[in-house]
Chains A and B, each alone.
Chain A
Amino acid sequence: MTTQTVSNENRPASLINHLAGWINWQRFLFALGLFFFLSMILFPFYWMVSSSFKSGAEIAGRAPVYIPSSLRLDAYRELFDSNWSHFQNFGVNIVNSLLVSIPTALIAVVLSTLGAYATARLHFKGRELMLNGVLIVYLFPAVLLMIPLFAMLSQISLVMGFNVQDNLAVLVLTYLAQTLPVALYMLTNYFRTIPDEIEQAALIDGCTRFEVIWRITLPLAVPALITVGIYTFMIAWNEFLYAFIFLNDRTAFTIPIKINTIFNDPSPRPHVVMAASTIMTVPVIALFLAFEKFLERGLTAGGVKG
């Protein structure tokens, strides 16, 4: 930058002069670009959160209300207050979503840690095949698998005597199948960056393999484990298609399916949809911001399918 401004505070220049001295084409374009992106990104989120605090009248008016008159909790009452008309019993859906996402994340971390340790450290025939196979699997679209999965699982359920529909455990299994390949790939790459020598030393000192994994590799891999855990949690929390196919009963709905149901209700209640969306979105954004450093690295390293 050639026109770097010197501190203007002690110079008796008007604001216009100040701006004129500061601005140049590059800065102007930069500010314009930033403004464009920020408003384009943030306005929908603002609209979601602010609309969730609007009253039914503000929603149904002829013109949109850009700033709600007060923080009304009508929409949230409808979601949670059993005395409210159209009570949605949203608490059950939040619990369902947690019952799906948390086990998915935990199991994915445990299983992919074991698998990734094997593919990163141990030597066995078919290791490369396994890794490449997993990468190809990663490219398989969910849409392609929904029909055979549905047919297969209903077949299995007949034999084993459980219900495929409305079964959250089935959902966890399908989410694991979607997330394990990425998790395995990310963790394998991470384990390969941990020097092998440390583990060799521990083995020579008489540790068993599991002690090595537990005491040395895992503590060193904590950042990667957090990344994988949050990713899989977010994928399971956001997932729509499989939940849409496998869940039919209102009491089994996860949050996305419930939001879809409220949205398609014959009497449109956008503020309730926005309240439910806010409840669904805020934790994800908060998690993301809290762990941004880890997650960005994960994203560029192959990241989330979507």
Chain B
Amino acid sequence: MTSMSRTRKGSSLFSGSMQAREVRLAWALILPTALIVFGLVLFPAIFSIWISFHKVGLYNLNDVFHAPFNGLDNFKAVINDFAFKWVSINQWGAAVTTIFYSFVSTILTLLLGLVAAMLLNRPFKARGLIRGIFLFPYVAPVISVAFVWRWLLDPRPSGVLNHVLMSLNLIDAPRAYLATRGLAIWLVIIFQAWRYFPFAMLMILARLQAIDDTLYEAASVDGANTWQKFISVTLPELRYVLGAIFLLRLLWTFNKFDDIWLLTGGGYGTNVLPVLTYQLSFNSYDFGKGAASAMIMLAALIIFIIAYVMIVMRNTEES
């Protein structure tokens, strides 16, 4: 029977044609996915590098392959752009803002996620339901939650935060929180942490529940209190999962466009590289410059990943 020999793992039992048939089948199965992913992700990614070295605007978009080469001009233009470079303490520029924003909000996300996971780690009534509710910010569409936040922070006296602070006599007049330099960046950071802590929480919770109970019992025998147990048992056990979440969230926050765009439009000291890339491309229609800014982003990401992997790997070798 033909089916007999169609078994497994390229063993010598295979006749050449059977193996060939399996390989053909495999490629046929994976081809549609591969075509879409490579055609719409990998090729564009490479094409993006090409664009960043060429002069591409709306006028020659229809003939983009004949766009004139302009060397490093796009990159120079981005780096010298006032929206990009550090100007003063009041105007950070997108480069510094992006780094600050992604690191601080990732750390805050991680901390909130850790606290939430510790809360939900012990059994209590309705834990399942509450865990579901904790995930709401993460599954809800960004546009609706961003606009609710914007409305809660509304500059009119009818904005909830204004109303609350004015009722408590903490402020005299309503304020435009998201339009205040210095404050706006913190608000988008808090929004980011609010929206993404559930991701961290779930991963940490999964790891927490895998910690061996005997470790805690041993600590109890040694006379450790709750805090000491947390420091000497829980945290070391969570080290790797925390590291992994940190890396993932940092990468995604670094690239995130929607949240900041919808909250502040990139104004008032919240202009980050993804928003700048969008503005360069679709507001000033300088696609070459936009691509250059995206490349700078990518380069920063790659450098960061390499550094991170090297540090983490060195640490694992040491321990």
Contact = CB atoms under 8 A, between A and B. Distances in A.
Q: Most chain-B Cβ atoms within 10 A of its Cβ — which of A38, A59, A143, A204?
A: A143
B158 interface: yes
A142 B29 CA distance: 26
A123 B226 CA distance: 51
Contacts, number: 262
B48 interface: yes
Interface range for A: 35 or more
B206 A300 contact: yes
A134 B143 contact: no
Interface stretch (A4-12, A86-94, A175-183, A218-226): A175-183
B159 interface: yes
Contact of B33 (A115, A150, A274): A115
Nearest to A200: B7
Interface stretch (A15-23, A70-78, A255-263): A255-263
B44 A256 contact: no
A292 B32 contact: no
Interface in A47-72: 47-48, 51, 59-64
B143 A203 contact: no
A288 to B, nearest CB: 5
A202 to B, nearest CB: 9
Nearest to A306: B252
A281 B37 contact: no
Interface in A192-241: 196, 200, 203-209, 234, 237-238, 240-241
B294 A285 contact: no
B255 A144 contact: yes
B297 A280 contact: no
A148 B36 contact: no
B274 interface: yes
Interface string B123-136: 00000001011111
A55 B173 CA distance: 25
A51 B122 CA distance: 35
A188 B298 CA distance: 28
A238 to B, nearest CB: 4
B144 interface: yes
Contacts of A241: 257-258, 278
Given A118-B30, A123-B10, A285 B139 contact: yes
A253 interface: no
Contacts of A203: 3, 6-7
B51 A33 contact: no
A148 B291 contact: yes
A305 B252 contact: yes
A59 B159 CA distance: 10
Given A34-B119, A144-B45, A114 B32 contact: yes
B107 interface: no
B33 A141 contact: no
Contacts of A273: 147, 151
B230 interface: no
Contacts of A33: 115, 119
B271 interface: no
Contact of B133 (A41, A64, A147): A41
A200 B7 CA distance: 7
A30 interface: yes
Interface residues of B, number: 91
A151 B47 contact: yes
Contacts of B44: 145, 148-149, 152
Given A144-B298, A147-B48, A148-B47, A154 B26 contact: no
Q: DSSP class of B's interface residues: helix, strand, loop or mixed?
A: helix
A288 B141 CA distance: 12
B8 interface: yes
Contact of B36 (A176, A234, A284, A289): A176
B96 interface: no
Contacts of A167: none
Most B-side CB within 10 Å, residue of A125, A174, A299: A299
A180 B33 contact: yes
A34 to B, nearest CB: 6
Given A48-B148, A146-B281, A240-B143, A124 B41 contact: no
B3 A44 contact: no
Given A44-B149, A124-B26, A277 B144 contact: yes
Contacts of A30: 119, 122
Given A37-B116, A177-B37, A203-B3, A284 B56 contact: no
Interface string A257-285: 00110010000001001100110110011
Interface in B5-32: 6-10, 22-23, 25-27, 29-30, 32
23 contacts: A34-B119, A40-B194, A41-B133, A64-B160, A115-B33, A118-B29, A137-B42, A144-B255, A145-B45, A147-B287, A148-B43, A149-B44, A151-B287, A184-B33, A241-B257, A245-B282, A256-B143, A259-B147, A274-B151, A277-B143, A278-B144, A288-B139, A305-B252
Given A115-B34, A119-B26, 17 more contacts: A30-B119, A41-B137, A45-B136, A60-B158, A114-B33, A118-B27, A122-B23, A141-B297, A147-B287, A150-B287, A154-B62, A155-B65, A177-B41, A238-B142, A241-B258, A273-B151, A300-B202
Interface of B: 1, 3-4, 6-10, 22-23, 25-27, 29-30, 32-34, 36-37, 39-45, 47-48, 51, 56, 61-62, 64-65, 115-116, 119, 122, 130, 132-145, 147-152, 154, 157-160, 163, 194, 196, 199, 202-203, 206, 226, 251-252, 254-255, 257-258, 262, 274, 277-278, 281-282, 287, 290-291, 294, 297-298
